[in-house]
Amino acid sequence: MAATVLVVTGSPANAAGTGTGYLHTSGNKIVDSTGATVRLTGINWFGMETDNKTFHGLWANNPWKSQLDLMASLGYNTIRVPFSDDALKPGAQATSVNTYSNPDLIGLSPLQILDKVVDYAGQKGMRIILDRHRPTSAGQTALWYTSGVPESTWISDWKSLAQHYAGNTTVIGADLHNEPHADGTNPNATGSCWGCGDESRDWRLAAERAGNAILSVQPNWLIFVEGVSCPSGGLSNVWDNDTSNDEDCGWWGGNLTKAGQYPVRLNVANRLVYSPHEYATSVYHQAWFDDPSYPANMPAIWDKYFGYLYKQNIAPIMVGEFGTTLASNIDKIWLQELMKYMGSGVNGMSFTYWSWNPNSGDTGGILKDDWATVDQAKQSIISPYLIPPTGGGNPTPPVSPSASPSVSPSASPSASPSASPSASPSASPSASPSSPGGKTCTATYKVVNQYSGGFQGEVTVKADSSAISAWTVKWAFPNGQSISQLWNGTLSASGSNVTVTNLSYNGALGAGASTTFGFNGSWSGTNGVPSPVSCTAS
């Protein structure tokens, strides 16, 4: 990507919710090229930041265009797209794409798939915000760089993306880095601070360097800057009996308390949008949820962390992530009150809800596990605040499978204050064909994500030289692993022995065609790849 600069043009956005042409800021408002006030009311569609390197749900029976149709019809006028630098590397490959429901994505790179989503979103009057979510697909980082992905790579990739989408007004800006946060214990902080002056840790200074580099090649983009968790960049040592280094910390990326004193300074005026994150108890049970005055205490908390920037007309706010499973009444109240706090109509704060995906373990999604059915409990709370894009029209009816996958994969949102997975394993394929009755298939097993005690696996089933109508995949786990959730197949397990058969909608495969099923599992000690993995077909 760094070697070649491509210019991709698309239909210019022209919508009631997202305005005309490129956007800029005026006080606490986002305005379009005509000066009209714009409110971004969007959704996060993640996956490009993971080992799949592309949008999750492309494995589903509901085609990607139908999903975008549904987003627009529900009123979401913007999509925030998380990605990692891994997805931008030369030779990066997108995985877990259902070639039956998405034949137009066969063989495309992660960036080429993103181009198609951008183009179609633009046709519907939607906007795209690109979010550099992680340096690699392995997990979140406290700082915006690592030893393997230095700051120079971060900035170079951003400049390449800005040039790639030059002239395409659907792509409106860069969320520079997702959820910079504290690391280490004060006074020996090693995480992202705000205003501390240490160039290796001061997120505010880094945001200026990256933002100005982007604006040097694409002066029309908005620059979205998240907060930190603790302004010092370090966690308070509550056991040292020294309260002098204790401080008030918030969500990862959610603490903008120092932005008023130490604002981000960009070389192009009217391009800065602050973008905090905010979550409910399904992510972490913060102390303020137990306040006897809850939820009356929440507006003051939101004012302190980010709202003052909006109320004092310093800069616009775009709440880049907020979400909940709605499993508790506390969370339902939280979502209702946060929506009210952000305001209604075109003059309210902008936002992108986390997430479209049902496979966010801490929040769930707007979609249910079949990637086609809407979670009406969540949508009914958010819906009154959405400003639909013009051109969304009626959605293409989603293709609903006759048998929905039982459970989607669990992927925790990056906002979780607990440690992120330390590493994702490399893909580990194992394949073994079997050929009864002249019809054969091949099953390829790989681990796509691994973390302490758990992992996500994926198996690709491919028909060989003849069409098949049904398939069965079998293997034996070598190290006592077990499956807790599986989708796009029917699971039968006995001890270490696993059998998976097709569902009604993914058994028939033409010669050379493939489908995938995935699962979440647990492991301890070793997570070896089973061999053989057999596939029988009829």
pLDDT digits (tens, 9 = 90+) for 386-431: 999 975 333 333 333 323 333 333 333 433 333 333 333 334 444 4
Domain boundaries, the chain: 24-385, 441-537
Q: CA 429 from chain center: how many Å? A: 26
Reported as type and span, the H/E element at residue 162 is helix 151-164
Instruction: Classify 321 in phi/psi space as left (phi over 0), alpha (psi -120 to 50) or beta.
Output: beta
**Tokens standing for residue 507:** 């058994």
- The pLDDT value recorded for residue 267 is 98
Write down the catalytic residue from 49, 226, 278, 321: 321
What pLDDT was estimated at residue 429? 44
Which pLDDT belongs to residue 432?
Answer: 42
Which residues neighbour 482 within 8 Å (Cβ) at sequence distance 6 or greater? 493, 521, 522
Query: Measuring CA to CA, which residue among 509, 491, 493 is closest to residue 440?
Result: 509
Return the residue matching tokens 């020294």: 242
End-to-end CA distance of the chain: 43
The yes-or-no answer on residue 208 being catalytic is: no
Fold of 441-537: Immunoglobulin-like (2.60.40)
Is position 321 annotated as part of the catalytic site?
yes
Output the pLDDT for position 456: 77
In this prediction, residue 242 carries a pLDDT of: 77
DSSP for 362-425? TT--SB-TTSSSB-HHHHHHHGGG--PPTT--SPPPP---SS--S-PPP---TT-SSPPPS--P
The one-letter code for the residue type at 68 is L
Place of tokens 């073994």: 432
How many Cα atoms are found within 13 Å in the side-chain-facing hemisphere of 344?
8
**Site of tokens 């049970």:** 285
The pLDDT score that the predictor gives to residue 393 is 35
pTM exceeds 0.85 for this model: no
- Per-residue pLDDT at 505: 64
Spell out, as residue ranges, where the chain has pLDDT lower than 70: 1-17, 391-437, 451, 505
The Cα 70–Cα 64 span in angstroms is 10
Backbone angles phi, psi at 243, to 5 degrees: -80, -5
Please give the structure tokens belonging to residue 37. 């006030």
Q: Which residue in the list 179, 226, 278, 458 is annotated as catalytic?
A: 179
pLDDT at 378: 97
Task: For domain 24-385, give the fold.
Answer: TIM Barrel (3.20.20)
Q: What is the predicted pLDDT for the residue at 124?
A: 93
